[in-house]
Amino acid sequence: MAIQAQQLNKAKSILDEAVRRGDLVFAAGLVGDTNGTLLSHVAGSYSGDADRPAQEDAIFAIASMTKLVTTVAALQLVDRGQLDLDMPADHYLPELKSLNVLQGFDAAGEPIYVPAQRAPTARELMAHTSGFVYSIWNADAFVAQSKGLTAGIGAGKQMLNAPLAFQPGTDWEYGISTDWLGYLVEQISGQRLMAYFAEHIFQPLGMTDTTFEFEAEKMDRGVSMMARAGDELVMSEAMQPVPAAPGSSEFYGGGGGLYSTLADYGLLLRAILNNGAMTDAVLLQPQTVDAMFANQIGDLKVKTCPAQMPVLSHDLDASFGASAQWGLGLMLHPEGTVNGRAPGSGSWAGLFNSYFWLDRAQGVFGIFATQVLPFLDPKAVATMTAFERAIYGLKS
């Protein structure tokens, strides 16, 4: 796919206009191909202060875009013969033995549990068919958290102590599967997750600004979190970046928590687009990358999940109504999308309205990022959609 200069210029102007209109305080976009970056552009400011315009090396929270990194890490273990994708994961993690499935609540409000028939496999953890869900989008899980039976995201390792919502392999629902996958990487590798990422992914690719801890000397590059209050954007009362010493976190969640930049995350996407390798860095074997983009959920459906916490998210429909499947760590678009992606392309997103896509057929990848709650904010999505359509030469 040859992207023309006018398409890139149009994409830039869309980011600029979103900030000028006041739809977003910060809007960032990157587009690349197998050879490198075609466009990197940031509009707006770090925190709404026009005297501090954001630069291209702005650091932002990527939330669930962390899941792709964790999946790559686990697939590296598969390539080395250390992890069997189809072995029940309690073979590696005794904590996954004797799981329960939460079927709902009785008339007295007590939980109804049945035993899980088996532990989920690593493949099911990657494909979100494990049975683990998020309380943000699952009603029973939300009630369980409200009753103090479970802990939600942000509770550290405690959030892993949750029942399944269905028997492994029988349904699809987005959830904490990748956090369990990250813990699995730690147990097999013998390294803490950040240390593993640094040695096997970040350093080989030159991703110098991607980390779980926000280093104090880089705080001036941090983007503030905003919240949509009616038609206005206000400074969020939560989720603001705070400095932390490297290695100081008690728990690294494989499902979220990383900070990154356009350039850094673009290096990861470029390596995947290059069948798992870039220059001297070989992340994955080509056949493993192929498996990432192969449907892993059979006839199961990637469904819309109704929001239980509107302050954090709208209803979860990140395929925007298009048909979708799930691969290993990626949502797949078997028929492509109306915004230009070819059939078989993959994508995902982060809670704070960051999005990426990988279009292998057309040899292009893209990132759009802002820092706004709730997830799937209509103005952020409209900007991302227009940005993507411009790249593909389509009218907004």
Cite the active site residues. Answer: 64, 67, 174
Question: What is the distance between the alpha carbons of residues 320 and 249, in angstroms, rounded to a whole number?
Answer: 35
CB atoms under 10 Å from CB of 336, counted, come to 17
As beta bridge partners, residue 232 has 229
Q: How far is CA 385 from CA 48, 57, 145, 232, 233, in A?
A: 23, 23, 34, 21, 20
